[in-house]
Chains A and B, each alone.
Chain A
Amino acid sequence: MPEGNADIIRLNGAAKHFGAVRALGGVDFHVGPGECVGLVGHNGAGKSTLMHMVAGTLTPDSGRIGVHGGSEDNYSVSRAQQLGIRCVFQELSLCPNLSVAENTRINHASLRGFGWRRKAAELIAAKLDEIFPGHSISASDIVGDLSIGRRQMVEVARAFTVTQDRLDLVILDEPTSSLDAHTAGQLLAFVRRFVAGGRSCILISHVLGEVLRNADRIVVMRDGKVVVAAAASAFDRDRLVTAMGGAEARQKAAAQVAAAKPEASPLRVRARPAAQKDGAELVARAGEIIGLAGLAGHGQTDLLLAIFAAASRARAGIEVTAPVALVAGDRQSDGIFPQWSIAQNIGIRSLARLRNGLLISPQREAELAGFWQKKIGIRTPDMNNNIFSLSGGNQQKALFARALGSDAEVVLMDDPMRGVDIGTKLEVYDLVREEARNGRTFLWYTTETEELDNCDHIYVFKNGRIVANLRRDELTEEKIIQSSFGDAA
């Protein structure tokens, strides 16, 4: 390839095996200067493995890596840093016990000596101002005190800070998964400016629209291989989904949902947010899917948690008539028991049914896990493996299995699809609708407007209050944005 010398990074025939699992089977990949490469594919398609190689955190079993035209034999993280390649990993990689400025210091070996704290603070504050104007994050904030969205903002901004090393390529792995629409827009606009300035980005996202709008070139991966790579203009949404080998398009959803539910089905939840001043309240009946919309962090999660608490102990303003299960949004900190197997993680919500005398019956636990493995399609050779052996999307499926496998009639979902690939999403949507037809009630907080298409009824939240109450047929994106940003009605 004649232009090969100009590439920032080029991988030829990169392969990686984890035990018996082939994560990456001989991939050719390159990024040139001044381009934004979109990388899409299902969870488990090998995107993360490939990016870890680019960032130097994984070495390929075979294949070659070349950076800036030179061949790299001992490629490592610190080498990648020197060569100007950075990565924002999907799992947050900030130290929660340190301040924003101190976390910046960790990525810059040159921030040392007298006055390093001030330099680090100025560096990160300037970059935050540049990417997210009006961000309200202080460099002295302890990261553990920040919301997940702000942590992601810090992490992104940190990747773009420059001290002595050059900066040519930033890998953004699901950078917008915890951001609301406004900050996500700020970030993507910055990425465009960054690329226009002659530097490069790799953008990984499950929000296909983001990739289509912002990438110059799109690379589609499936089963550890690159299946298509072409200019972004050659793709539209359907072609991308087809290339990824995803399930069929989601259009059928709406029609099914629209089928009217009898008004008379029994009441499951009636709840009024604590901050609500008028009489508006959330009402959910058996068999309904209720959407909670609005900007991130405007009281949706709080209400879900209040409903969850009210199920076991009576609370003023909230009425719950059936057992409740919660699917957590921040699965690493609120959902998963890291030391446990997949089967144990699924069974924890159903211990009463799995009991045999005083002990948990391993056999029943295995049966429950096996049933849900088939039903929800958890991809693992053995459900007794540790939960972390699963990819992110499959971990989330296990959490769904935990809730759906329980006796809960009301399932609360706290933006559970964050960072999950589209194939998994479509499978879960189908499952949710099927369970709703069988009489289960879902309360679904989501930051992705598309997901609201699955809901019968949508409540829009602002500042901890319900500001709009929409039926499915009234739902449009404009209406939600209007109510989210408008004055409280």
Chain B
Amino acid sequence: MVDALFAVFHRPNFLTFVIIFLWGFYIMVTRYNLVKKLIGMYLVQTSVIFFLVSISAKKGATVPVLLSTTDPVQVASYANPLPHVLTLTAIVVGVATLGVGLALCGAIYRQYGSLDEQDILEKLE
């Protein structure tokens, strides 16, 4: 038990990730307003990307841009570039899907005159 708590507080990035991920997920499930749900979705996306990027960090390492192009590369002095590449793609695709979600919200509002889930369900019946 004490061991587990110790392990968590030695990884503050992971603790932050868990809090933001679960809180955003909770907002997605419970709130009625559609824009609020999308805010929760955005928090979930960015928290997962945050976790992946913090895996790539190394103590005492710099950004993955080679300082000298002639010397042999010291691997431990550059951050791991692969999670960066994957998350670059994930951020852009995430914002594109967020834009589709917001456009859907606009279309729903034009059709039903509300963004509240309960109101929309009443009008659907």
Does B bind A?
A: no
Which residues of A are in contact with B by a Cβ distance under 8 Å?
A: none
